[in-house]
């Protein structure tokens, strides 16, 4: 019971004063600006402009509270209203589209008997074109100027409107409010400006502070940091894999070159050891050449040694007796 009471006290109630929100436009293209004015609100009492997603931070400090979104995105589409924690204004639905066609319609409610002009705007061209206008899905008029004028409007003219350009896409829908002539004052309830399905339903899930917007920014920064860390981690491992692959490639090339040299040696002399290195082959060849050179040198110095030499004869000296005998 205490929790239910706390939630009920935290729900901003509809303002009894003439506080209502007026947007500068109901539909716009991405990257265009839109502003919201809280008419009748006392700035000193803490009025703010918000949606179900966030508070608008860029606001003026004049006598009238005006908050703006300078560069809008599709995510900025939604229902907006003014609140000060205890009271809230009517709500308006603003649509930001990434398409090429939008509907230009009044941002304020109309009274019966008045005149309203709806415009179909094409992002890609400003020349005249044929546009079809629909109310609650039913064709209500076509015009080659891109505009539709309704005179002496009545309550039956209220509803969802959209336009479609021939040969192009159609715009989003916007709600057109028609008030009776007996209606006095400018105060509007959320039900009179948008459908009940578009009105924010407070059930304790919406807070009164701007902490949610700050937390969202922190979450976004954390996601970016995690993404960057993951990118660095992946890049590091890719670099390691590339370095290892290059090392293996170099080793493979060296081994291939060694096998090629051994194959050439074996093909030139099958009797040689295929695993003999070129340096050892050269050493053995030099040793053989040296030995052959020594043998040739000895032969040139003693050629008579190659022929059969006679045995040496014994020499006896001549004596006197031998001389006489002769």
pLDDT at 130: 87
Sequence spans of domains, the chain: 2-209, 210-282
* Residue for token pair 């709600």: 175
pLDDT at 8: 38
| 10-residue stretch averages of pLDDT, the chain, 326 residues long | 39 58 92 92 86 90 87 93 88 92 92 92 81 93 90 92 87 91 53 39 39 54 76 91 94 90 81 57 61 58 53 53 52
How much of the chain is helix, strand and coil, in % rounded to 5?
35, 25, 40
Q: Where are the beta strands (DSSP E) in the chain?
A: 13-14, 20-23, 27-29, 34-39, 48-51, 65-69, 78-83, 87-97, 101-104, 110-111, 116-122, 131-135, 138-143, 147-150, 159-165, 174-176, 178-179
pLDDT at 16: 44
The CATH code for residues 2-209 is 2.60.40.10
Q: Which helix (H) or strand (E) holds 261?
A: helix 211-268
**CB 160, CB 170: distance < 8 Å:** no
Q: Which residues lie closer than 8 Å to 41 by C-beta, 6 or more apart?
A: 19, 47, 64, 65, 82, 84, 89
Task: Give the number of C-alpha atoms closer than 13 A to the C-alpha of residue 30, restricted to the C-beta side.
Answer: 7
Q: How far apart are CA 118 and CA 42, in angstroms?
A: 33
Other CB atoms within 10 Å distance of the CB of residue 38:
25
- Tokens at residue 108, please? 């304020």
pLDDT at 313: 54
């Amino acid at each position: 019971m205490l929790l239910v009471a706390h939630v009920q006290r935290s729900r901003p109630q509809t303002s009894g004063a003439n506080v209502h929100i007026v947007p500068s436009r109901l539909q716009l293209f991405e990257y265009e600006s839109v502003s919201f004015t809280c008419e009748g609100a006392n700035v000193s009492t803490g009025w703010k402009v918000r949606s179900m997603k966030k508070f608008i931070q860029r606001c003026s400090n004049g006598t009238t509270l005006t908050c703006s979104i300078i560069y809008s995105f599709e995510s900025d589409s939604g229902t907006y209203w003014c609140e000060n924690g205890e009271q809230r204004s009517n709500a308006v639905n603003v649509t930001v589209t990434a398409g090429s066609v939008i509907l230009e319609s009044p941002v304020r409610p109309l009274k019966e008997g008045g005149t309203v002009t709806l415009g179909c705007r094409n992002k890609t061209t400003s020349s005249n074109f044929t546009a079809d206008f629909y109310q609650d899905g039913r064709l209500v008029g076509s015009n080659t100027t891109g505009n539709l004028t309704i005179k002496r409007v009545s309550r039956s003219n209220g509803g969802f409107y959209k336009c479609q350009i021939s040969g192009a896409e159609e715009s989003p829908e916007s709600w057109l409010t028609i008030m009776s002539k007996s209606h006095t004052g400018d105060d509007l309830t959320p039900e009179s400006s948008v459908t009940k399905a578009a009105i924010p339903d407070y059930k304790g899930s919406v807070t009164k502070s701007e902490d949610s917007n700050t937390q969202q920014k922190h979450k976004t920064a954390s996601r970016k940091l995690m993404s960057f860390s993951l990118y660095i981690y992946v890049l590091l491992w890719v670099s390691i894999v590339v370095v290892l692959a290059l090392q293996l490639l170099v080793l493979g090339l060296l081994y291939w070159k060694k096998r090629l040299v051994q194959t050439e040696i074996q093909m030139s002399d099958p009797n040689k050891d295929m695993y003999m290195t070129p340096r050892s082959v050269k050493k053995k060849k030099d040793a053989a050449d040296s030995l052959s050179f020594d043998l040739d040198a000895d032969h040139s110095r003693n050629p008579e040694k190659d022929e059969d030499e006679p045995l040496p004869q014994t020499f006896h000296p001549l004596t006197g007796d031998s001389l006489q005998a002769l």
